[in-house]
Structure 1
């Protein structure tokens, strides 16, 4: 946002609306903040950094280091572990500058076997000694590369340690970003509604959606005297045929704009608490040639015995277990938000590919994102979806089964650990990259991010 706009907004709040503004959250660009101090020198206001921008900047530095290919030991699993450690450290030490300083040192030292800066509440190395195995490092062993350690220290100690006070007082602009995406969905910039008289109504509809949810439309109609009226569902039902449809018809195809062949390919998979589209997510994994994503997610609903038997994921108290081994996990909101941050790091909007996603995963993802008001933001970072089940029906017609395990067995001659999202995405990426011409089918088989949204309303 332009510095003049930031200053004017704060000025309107303070001078016109008589609202006390004591804090402004944003990225590391302080131009707007300096403009405010210059125009209102007597205003006691503090600038805080945005949590997501900080994490995104650190993630970018880590990927730069990994892509440099200078360190053989710096695998994707190590990178994921560092990301998790940094995220937890930031969240757990808000309000404590000393805690941030100690945590920044512990991130690198802990992974290299030095537990001087660790805390007994989270580090098993302090209690188990030499018998300790890392949960998130290859083979559970300490890292050993001195050069890798030095490069990581440049990121976490040389650059971030001086900002410990700033990191201990982070804010979140997530609500603003979510609202901005809602406004963009009502008034896309490419259609230039800013020159139209309807802009005010479109922005107001975004405000209503934010405050009231999608039910605002029925409330507006009722307030305007349009509901109930002559054109009602009850009257319309009189003219409907009595024939029962065997299945819900497919929604209309929505045109997808842009060059899909230049978009990066990201294979993703979800593990859930059950087989219903309203199930909770318990694991999210994504795989691309550039970068990977994996996290376990603490569900709000119980995991069904059938799902636990298939995935090996269970919950005991406030701990998650995979094959009876404790794993690090995140809340539903944090996991979904981190997934969006991961997608935002691609230079172009990626195409999300998954197996049977058109019938299941997309709908579970939609329900989860919608419940946390993150759906619009998610869509802003995704080009489209492609279901690999439909893809291989075109590529290899006539197979008895198109389950992913059967495709792997028939086409690759391999077996793998099915129903673990990480393994599912890796093997599906191998299938797509070696056994089909993806570019040949992407235009035909792609479907919009709005697909599960329309399915939801058709099923009502």
Structure 2
């Protein structure tokens, strides 16, 4: 706090205080002493730094984070202390020697981190090669760990380019996990002498991998978590909501993830470590004029229809099956992917992978690796082939070109294939999409038959000077010689687009209801009826048309202006504007600080004065 703030604080406590000038002069006196002490402490710390050749940490932990999943794959703890062992040694009580001892390291703290790193590499090597069933590769990998740690890469099969940077991925997941561990096991407290440190690190790892849901699962294991009301309500939800998640956050994250998968890698960390050399980029030529006649471009080519099945929806996923047809010749081959097959892709293709076996609907199928399958495809393709496929421009073509490039087969493929044609693009060219609203044309045709010299005008936002706090924006204004002007409001209910309006009216929430004669009418208690009445009052018109369109039906109803309802709408809107909107606009009445004076009486006095003046003027005009 500064001098002024200090004086105000002491005054609030009802304590006598000195003037800010005297306080400032005392600050200058004591400030020099503080600066001298800080310099002395720095010199002392520097001397201690020279004398300290090592550091002493009793416990330590290490974690392995997956580059693709961002989750913790494994973790290990090291500790040089055990409180129970210390107590037994001090009391010499042999009856308590059997305990869960967590002392598993006797070396120095300097060597603790390398020991954890080597142990984690060892476990990763064992798991990686055990899953593949390659025992010989496991032996060679274990033999290469220690030389690799000291810069000898002669035994490493994957360390060919040791002079280049390796893309290790982002460290954000590591930092996130370390932060969670620091909140559960802060370094200011000693948990390494008991099992508590292991429990705390394990809870942090569980939270990193599964979120807060791990608490629920742990409690269920110990039967400490009865079924909550939330779970009861969850069971009442439809199946598709339970499977896909009903929260807005989950929906938003899935939407963002879906867009990122379809866009591919638009940003990656460690971009300077990518080994692929960038080709020389020439100036981009101007785009030639397109010809919609596809036959002019094909010429003497062989038409081949093809399709791919992949591990997911991203353009960086792996191929699981390639199928193609050329005349009576057919090609179909399964491919063993390197990436895991997503659950969504397995539901569509029926393909799953367990170890080195590929299954389709639970039955093992013969397969090849990616390079062998692509070579076989190139051999099968006829000369001057053109590949046809649906939506291949944005997906299949990118996938197969990436796979061919990774296997160095792109030149062989280009010698056989002249190009790729997307049938979705061809379909869009020959079936143009209507640019206007589908309700416009039927509505206009029916109105032109019933009215003379009918004109429809697109309009914007209307404001009535008598009620300037209300506005309306109808879909259009209809003008004719027989009826004058009328507003038009069009509704195209998406949830009922495939139904007839008569079937839609059976829904209690739908706004069209049957009257006593069985005719469909706009429900007078629905908000759409109030919307049309407000549009009529704002635009000062006597009637309007309410139009509802579906793929199977069309409804046009004339709505007559209701003056009593309009007065009720004006009174309620005026009350809302005066009591809520106007005070907030003038002085932020509802968002002001609590210690400020309220503004509502001021506004009420102003309005009362204005109303009294208007009454006096009216009385004078009457006289």
Task: Mark yes or no: TM-score above 0.5.
Answer: no
RCO greater where, 1 or 2, for CA within 8 Å and sep 6 or more?
A: 1
Bigger share in helix: 1
TM-score, normalising length: structure 2: 0.23
